[in-house]
């Protein structure tokens, strides 16, 4: 029979898996407590970095429907549960891993789909959501201006042609 504290830990991890938009599995072997605190700060307010036992995490991942994630649990593992923008958390992990090579990204889950460490790095290389939205709005605005120019071009060309004919008739008279 399972102990109540372990059952509670599994339930909490399952809720974290279900409630997060992304989860990144890391190996933290060789990091000090101060470095882990710095990592939690680097991840931002929208991420929760948790160190848990592999067996409990595997049970919670299976209960949350993440079979492949549970298979990657080996060695000292910790999980970054991201509730906000996954790009910011991926950037925080990437930057921290550059400064501290002891942190190894093993796997991840983004919106229920498993992702590789290379995909997490690619996610970190994306610009922030606000920048991408601003670029999209700018592109749409440029297309609207281009459409407005195309719609007014025939009318303005007709006006220039009529004006040129009027000047030609004035010179001829």
| Long-range contacts formed by 137-144: CB under 8 A, 24+ apart | none
pLDDT tens digits, 86-107: 888 888 888 888 888 888 888 8
Burial of residue 33 (CB within 10 Å: 0-12, 13-18, 19+) is exposed
pLDDT at 134 over 50: yes
pLDDT tens digits, 145-162: 888 888 888 888 888 888
- Which residues make up the CATH 3.30.70.1730 domain(s) of the chain? 1-125
CATH of segment(s) 1-125: 3.30.70.1730
Mean pLDDT (the chain) is 83
Q: Which alpha helices (H) appear in 64-128, and where do they start and end?
A: 67-71, 86-99, 117-125
Place of tokens 């599994």: 10
Give 2's pLDDT tier (boundaries 50, 70, 90). low
pLDDT tens digits, 49-95: 888 888 888 888 888 777 777 777 878 888 888 888 888 888 888 88
């Amino acid at each position: 029979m399972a102990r109540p504290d372990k059952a509670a830990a599994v339930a909490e991890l399952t809720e974290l898996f279900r409630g997060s938009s992304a989860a990144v599995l890391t190996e933290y072997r060789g990091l000090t407590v101060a470095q882990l605190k710095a990592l939690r700060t680097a991840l931002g307010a929208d991420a929760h970095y948790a160190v848990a036992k592999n067996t409990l995490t595997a049970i919670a991942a299976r209960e949350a429907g993440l079979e492949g994630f549970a298979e990657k649990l080996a060695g000292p593992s910790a999980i970054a549960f991201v509730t906000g923008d996954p790009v910011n958390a991926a950037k925080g992990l990437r930057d921290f891993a550059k400064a501290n090579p002891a942190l190894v990204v093993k796997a991840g889950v983004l919106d229920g789909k498993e992702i590789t460490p290379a995909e997490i790095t690619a996610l970190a290389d994306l610009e922030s959501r606000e920048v991408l939205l601003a670029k999209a709005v700018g592109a749409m605005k440029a297309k609207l201006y281009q459409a407005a120019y195309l719609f007014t071009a025939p009318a303005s060309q007709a006006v220039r042609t009529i004006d040129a004919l009027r000047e030609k008739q004035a010179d001829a008279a």
